[in-house]
Chain A
């Protein structure tokens, strides 16, 4: 009983902040999402409607933004995983002397402001940017490639920004794989590739899950980078929600979108962790 009370006491400061600053405002938005917004008048508090939610699935524009956001989340997560795993492997299993420099190299971008980093990508990716100029100069292309205001730009920018999180998660997971277990597989006849596939990869599944969840959640809720690299027209859910609240003042629609995004996120995380756990034999 004592340990329970100590636990509650230790939790209470964080619990209070979460309740006051997160849960209560969130709950206050629940009724709003079922109300109607009348342009010019404001929120009609007397009418209850499901219209805000129905529209997300029914309206073609909204539907496209939802699918684009989820697609972007999955694509960025997968590319972070594919790019990050070799780096994490090198950090953990490579020469110990390279460990610190490599880790610093991974963390370094995090020290730079998000706006600065996104702006850097604009300089590189725009029609008259560094990348396009270079490609035209060496004669690979005649006309500039469209690298911004579309999926390509968002993918590049967000993958770069969230890669460190994935790498750090994978480093922690790889460090937890006992070398003896890999050695055991070797003495039992596994080639190096088979050891990786049958032992190392499944044993890092917890890190793969947590890294992927982190990157996925950060990606689909990212606001600054999609706004800067996607422009005002290439919308994702976060920028759309921002516009609904701040530009259109359509709070009911904005909150409905927010809840839809949260529910979709939870569902996708649940399904993917279940699948990963089953594959890695953790379930």
Chain B
């Protein structure tokens, strides 16, 4: 259990920079996710921490110890792979015992610690099976037991849940969170699934193109994105371009959107406004205060708990709106005139041109 710090970490393959000057401080026992689209360099960072890829620049320290040039077998990290990477020729017991044996553990003490690790992932009694006799979820749990059994100072996860089906993934997410809390091991978790990152992590590090976009708590990331990339990557936002005018945003076509962030910006500033699909309320009639934006429903689709509408605003915009299927505004038919209400504090306003 140690804090991890990455200082000016970089990885280049020839002229291509995959990771560019990444610095990150992870506190002891903290659960941090690296979140980003594929190719953003998150897995490269993870593998550099594990020692499987050598950094081109920068330093990695764990608990104050510089491990940048250490081979993987001297680092005391636990890595869980997307492909599970179990030893197919060994039983579950031998898989879990592998790291312990490398540390010189044997006999009754070894048995005890393997049993303990298997109990943690609720696989008691599976010791004699081979990986091929287990389901995907069970294999992933063996991989976790194998990684935690030698009590590593850092746990690394490389998209561990992406090979599982949706239902199993939700279950494993809860297991994983419980496991990490119980063990209190510093954890670095790589994923491209934002729901996974937000629900599991103490802090999330959003990456794009080898650069950290924002490193903050899930709440901050969700409600106060620092860059346009984070705003458009997290959640399912609508993006509307306009200019600031009298403390509101002029979207053209006579549409004016009230936004709490607009007051601090000068008139005429080009801005992007991000509005989450669930932050919009639909009503069939104007609310009397005249703040609703008029629009036309062009598409309605029902998906169980939610109903999605595509609403045309003026000539330039189509906005996706998500409402609870049991609530108000769930039964509006296609082609109907509606009014959109968005609370000024639910809009995210960023100057145009702040990142992708």
Residues of A near any B CB (own CB < 8 A): 178, 180-181, 183-191, 194, 198-199, 202-203, 205, 280-282
Residue pairs across A and B with Cβ atoms less than 8 A apart, 5 shown, are: A183-B79, A184-B85, A184-B87, A189-B150, A190-B98
Which one of A189, A205, A280, A281 contacts B99 once the chains associate, using CB atoms below 8 Å?
A: A189
B205 CB-CB contact with A under 8 Å: no
Contact at B73–A186, with CB atoms within 8 Å? yes
Chain A residues in 8 Å Cβ range of B143: 184
Q: A185-B98, A194-B102, A199-B87 are known contacts; what are 6 more A-B pairs with Cβ within 8 Å?
A: A178-B83, A186-B73, A187-B73, A188-B78, A189-B76, A280-B89
CB of A95, distance to nearest CB on chain B (Å)? 15
Chain B residues in 8 Å Cβ range of A180: 81, 83, 85
CB of B131, distance to nearest CB on chain A (Å)? 10
Main secondary structure of the interface of A (DSSP, over half): helix
Task: Determine the residue in chain B with the shortest Cβ distance to A188.
Answer: B99
Bound CA–CA A190/B79 (angstroms): 13
CB of A193, distance to nearest CB on chain B (Å)? 11
Bound CA–CA A185/B101 (angstroms): 12
Bound CA–CA A198/B73 (angstroms): 14
Contact at B88–A187, with CB atoms within 8 Å? no
Which one of B79, B87, B90, B91 contacts A187 once the chains associate, using CB atoms below 8 Å?
A: B79
Contact at B83–A189, with CB atoms within 8 Å? no
Bound CA–CA A181/B73 (angstroms): 14
Chain B residues in 8 Å Cβ range of A282: 89
Bound CA–CA A190/B71 (angstroms): 10
CB of A42, distance to nearest CB on chain B (Å)? 56
B52 CB-CB contact with A under 8 Å: yes
Task: Determine the residue in chain B with the shortest Cβ distance to A186.
Answer: B72
Task: Determine the residue in chain A with the shortest Cβ distance to B102.
Answer: A189
Contact at B88–A184, with CB atoms within 8 Å? no
Task: Determine the residue in chain A with the shortest Cβ distance to B97.
Answer: A188
B203 CB-CB contact with A under 8 Å: no
Chain A residues in 8 Å Cβ range of B90: 281
B114 CB-CB contact with A under 8 Å: no
B120 CB-CB contact with A under 8 Å: no
Task: Determine the residue in chain A with the shortest Cβ distance to B81.
Answer: A180
Residues of B near any A CB (own CB < 8 A): 50-52, 71-73, 75-79, 81, 83, 85-91, 98-99, 102-103, 130, 143, 146-147, 150
Chain B residues in 8 Å Cβ range of A184: 79, 81, 85-87, 143, 146
Contact at B102–A188, with CB atoms within 8 Å? yes
Chain B residues in 8 Å Cβ range of A281: 89-91, 130
CB of B186, distance to nearest CB on chain A (Å)? 15
Contact at B78–A187, with CB atoms within 8 Å? yes
Chain A residues in 8 Å Cβ range of B150: 188-189
Chain B residues in 8 Å Cβ range of A203: 88-89
Which one of A183, A189, A280 contacts B85 once the chains associate, using CB atoms below 8 Å?
A: A183
Bound CA–CA A6/B15 (angstroms): 54
Task: Determine the residue in chain A with the shortest Cβ distance to B94.
Answer: A281
Counting from the closest, the 10 A-B pairs by CB-CB distance are A189-B102, A188-B99, A281-B89, A180-B85, A186-B72, A184-B85, A187-B79, A181-B85, A202-B89, A180-B81
CB of A89, distance to nearest CB on chain B (Å)? 18
Chain A residues in 8 Å Cβ range of B98: 185, 188, 190, 198
Chain B residues in 8 Å Cβ range of A186: 51-52, 71-73
Bound CA–CA A240/B205 (angstroms): 75
Bound CA–CA A168/B253 (angstroms): 70
Bound CA–CA A187/B47 (angstroms): 10
Chain B residues in 8 Å Cβ range of A202: 89
CB of B128, distance to nearest CB on chain A (Å)? 12
Chain A residues in 8 Å Cβ range of B83: 178, 180
Contact at B87–A185, with CB atoms within 8 Å? yes
CB of B75, distance to nearest CB on chain A (Å)? 7
Task: Determine the residue in chain A with the shortest Cβ distance to B156.
Answer: A187
Chain A residues in 8 Å Cβ range of B88: 181, 203
Bound CA–CA A184/B52 (angstroms): 10
CB of A191, distance to nearest CB on chain B (Å)? 6
CB of A188, distance to nearest CB on chain B (Å)? 4
Contact at B73–A191, with CB atoms within 8 Å? yes
Chain B residues in 8 Å Cβ range of A199: 87
Chain B residues in 8 Å Cβ range of A190: 73, 98, 102
Bound CA–CA A190/B73 (angstroms): 6
Contact at B146–A188, with CB atoms within 8 Å? yes
| Contact flag A187-B89 (CB < 8 Å), given A178-B83, A180-B81, A180-B83 | no
Residue from the set B85, B130, B146, B150 with the largest chain A CB neighbour count within 10 Å: B85
Residue from the set A178, A184, A199, A202 with the largest chain B CB neighbour count within 10 Å: A184
CB of B188, distance to nearest CB on chain A (Å)? 13
Chain A residues in 8 Å Cβ range of B89: 202-203, 205, 280-282
Bound CA–CA A170/B88 (angstroms): 18
Chain A residues in 8 Å Cβ range of B76: 189
Bound CA–CA A40/B81 (angstroms): 75
Task: Determine the residue in chain A with the shortest Cβ distance to B98.
Answer: A188
Bound CA–CA A181/B84 (angstroms): 8
Contact at A181–B86, with CB atoms within 8 Å? yes
Chain A residues in 8 Å Cβ range of B77: 187
Bound CA–CA A178/B85 (angstroms): 8
Bound CA–CA A183/B51 (angstroms): 9
Task: Determine the residue in chain A with the shortest Cβ distance to B103.
Answer: A189
Task: Determine the residue in chain B with the shortest Cβ distance to A201.
Answer: B89
Bound CA–CA A186/B99 (angstroms): 9
Bound CA–CA A181/B80 (angstroms): 11
